[in-house]
Amino acid sequence: MSAVLTAIVALFLIGPVLLSALAGVTANWFLGASAGLTLAWVVKVWDLYAHTIGLSLWLALCCLVCTLLLGVPAAYALARTPSRLARLLEELLTLPVAVPGIATALGLILVWGAVGDFRIHWTFLLIGHVLFTLPFMLRAVLAALRGAELEVLEEAARACGANFRQRFLGVVLPNIRGGILAGALMVTALSIGEFNMTLLLSTPHTMTLPVGLADSYASMRLEVGSAFTLVFLVLLVPPLVAMQALSERLGR
């Protein structure tokens, strides 16, 4: 019974996505499958929106690097400082998740929008993506740190003569790699798919994949937007599945 219920729920969730992807390879969706299948719409998407795909992947990579460099040390510091101030700081760092993305984007525009050409540079989008995704990296790493008996491990390494760098790189990081990979998985997926904040921050020169997807549905044929959805899935799903499998393997 549970398997049937799970299958029904999965079909309810995945069905619309599969239908949209199917429309992207149909010559004329309004005529149905009798119109034949074609990759012409996929080629059209690549011709018109390839730059949005490249920018989104580049943003996701840069966002991942930034959240790793900021989130892992911050999580370590918070885990090693069990005080009320640390708890308050932890809540403040996760606040961007609760604030609507449009409000965050508006704040960034008000603060940085008039600084030279920064408004039309891709790094402007990167700041927004880092603000939005950093809490997810922070939470994942914090959970791993708090469940790894950090103090015991570090005391044992210190007793063996290891300095701070050796303890952090050789003891702490290997024991929380599962949490880091889980955070990296969330950051990558959220950065590539982020739309609300990006829609307000982007310009014609910095259009990302989700914004391009919305533009294709609004200004092109249904088949073009559906083909864009198919491209989105092909680019996003395999890396995320691979990262999930790696995270589960290292977390054992």
Tens of each residue's pLDDT in the chain, 252 residues: 677 787 787 777 777 777 777 888 888 877 776 777 888 888 888 888 888 888 999 999 999 999 999 999 988 888 887 777 777 777 777 777 778 888 888 888 888 877 878 888 899 999 999 999 999 999 889 888 877 677 777 777 777 777 878 778 887 888 888 888 889 888 988 999 888 899 889 888 889 988 988 888 887 788 888 888 888 888 777 777 777 776 667 655
Query: Residue 119 has what DSSP assignment?
Result: G
Q: Give the Cα separation of 216 and 41 in Å (integer).
A: 11
For the chain, give every domain's residue range.
Answer: 40-251
Q: Which residue from 215, 236, 237 is spatially nearest to 225, judged by alpha carbons? A: 215
Q: pLDDT value at position 252?
A: 57
Q: Are 190 and 199 in contact (CB under 8 A)?
A: no
Q: CB pairs under 8 A, 24+ apart, for 27-36? A: 27/223, 28/223, 29/222, 29/223, 29/226
- pLDDT score at 248: 67
Q: What does each C-alpha distance from 114 to 3, 11, 106, 196 come to in angstroms? A: 55, 47, 13, 21
pLDDT confidence of residue 251: 56
Q: CA 85 → CA 88, 135, 136, distances in Å? A: 5, 17, 20
Q: What is the pLDDT of residue 128?
A: 92
DSSP, res 176: T
Task: Give the angle 229-128-78 at the CA atoms, nearest 5°.
Answer: 115
- Taking each helix axis as running N to C, give the angle between helix 222-251 and helix 2-23, from 0 to 180 degrees, rounded to the nearest 10: 140
Report residue 220 as tokens: 């092109």
Which of 132, 125, 128, 129 has the alpha carbon at shortest distance from 207?
A: 125
* Residues 72-78: contacts with CB under 8 Å, at least 24 apart: 72/137, 72/141, 72/173, 72/180, 74/138, 75/137, 75/138, 75/141, 75/142, 75/145, 76/141, 76/145, 76/168, 76/172, 78/138, 78/142
Q: Write the class of the CATH domain 40-251.
A: mainly alpha
C-alpha to C-alpha distance for 173 and 148, rounded to whole angstroms: 11
Tokens 């540079």 locate to: 121
pLDDT score of 157: 77
Residue written as token pair 């943003």: 59
Rounded CA-CA distance 199/102 in Å is 8
Predicted pLDDT at 247: 66
pTM for the complete prediction? 0.83
**How far is it, in rounded angstroms, from Cα 244 to Cα 63?**
18
